[in-house]
Amino acid sequence: MPATAPPLPIYLALGDSYTIGERVAASERWPAVLVGRLRAVGVALDEPRIVAVTGWTTDELAQGMEAAALAPSYDLVSLQIGVNNQYRGRSSEDYRQQFASLLARAIALAGGRPGRVVVVSIPDWGVTRFAREQGRDPARIAAELDAYNAIALAQSLRDGARFVDVTGISRQHPDALADDGLHPSGAQYAWWAERIEPVVREALGH
């Protein structure tokens, strides 16, 4: 009787429009591109399970996770959330508390292994065509998002999770956008995945 192949490591991606890939094909979402890059270098990983909806804030992601009835143990969990908190004018203190709770849940879903959790920074939508056309203040958006990202980085360090900064990529390529002039294009997501890949390889022990 042939031996049964071991199950592939499972990956959970938590987030909002950036994780679900608003306005791009499913194959261009950065979690999907990441899995493809990993497989190309011999790192086996199942197709990502994505729990993310365009427009979600931290509290809405928490509710979405409850509705999805998630249970440990995932081999890899990514978390990217907060842009809609900033967009709606919510305080950084609210974000601090809710992000800490989400990160603790992500670590629990990774089987209590914080090193298997990868936090991805919030990109800067203030540099986009949408923001320009809406007359938004790019300096204010940048400052508020920098504050959010500093909170996420500090909490990640405290809890032992990994952190990847893609905000700089969004600022370096302000026109790498989908047709709505707001969300990243497939090309920009590919650059994100390129930056995230080595961190994930280390997380998975490769």
8 Å CB contact between 163 and 117: no
**How many Cβ atoms are within 10 Å of 25's Cβ, its own excluded?**
9
Taking only the tens place, the pLDDT of each residue in 123-136 is 999 999 999 999 99
pLDDT tops 90 at residue 206: no
Residue 125 falls inside a structural domain: yes
Mean per-residue pLDDT of the chain: 96
Q: Is residue 55 part of a domain?
A: yes
Domain count along the chain = 1
Q: How far apart are CA 14 and CA 34, in angstroms?
A: 14
CATH of the domain at 90: 3.40.50.1110
- Residue 83 predicted with pLDDT over 60: yes
Distance CA 95, CA 81 (A): 10
Confirm whether 16 is domain-assigned.
yes
**Tell me: the pLDDT tens digits for 167-192?**
999 999 999 999 999 999 999 999 99
pLDDT at 43 over 70: yes
pLDDT class of 7 with cuts at 50, 70, 90: confident
- DSSP string for residues in 90-116: --HHHHHHHHHHHHHHHHHHTTT-GGG
The answer to the question of residue 63 being in a domain is yes
Residue 36 resides in a domain: yes
Is the model's pLDDT at 2 over the cut of 60?
no
Structural domain contains residue 48:
yes
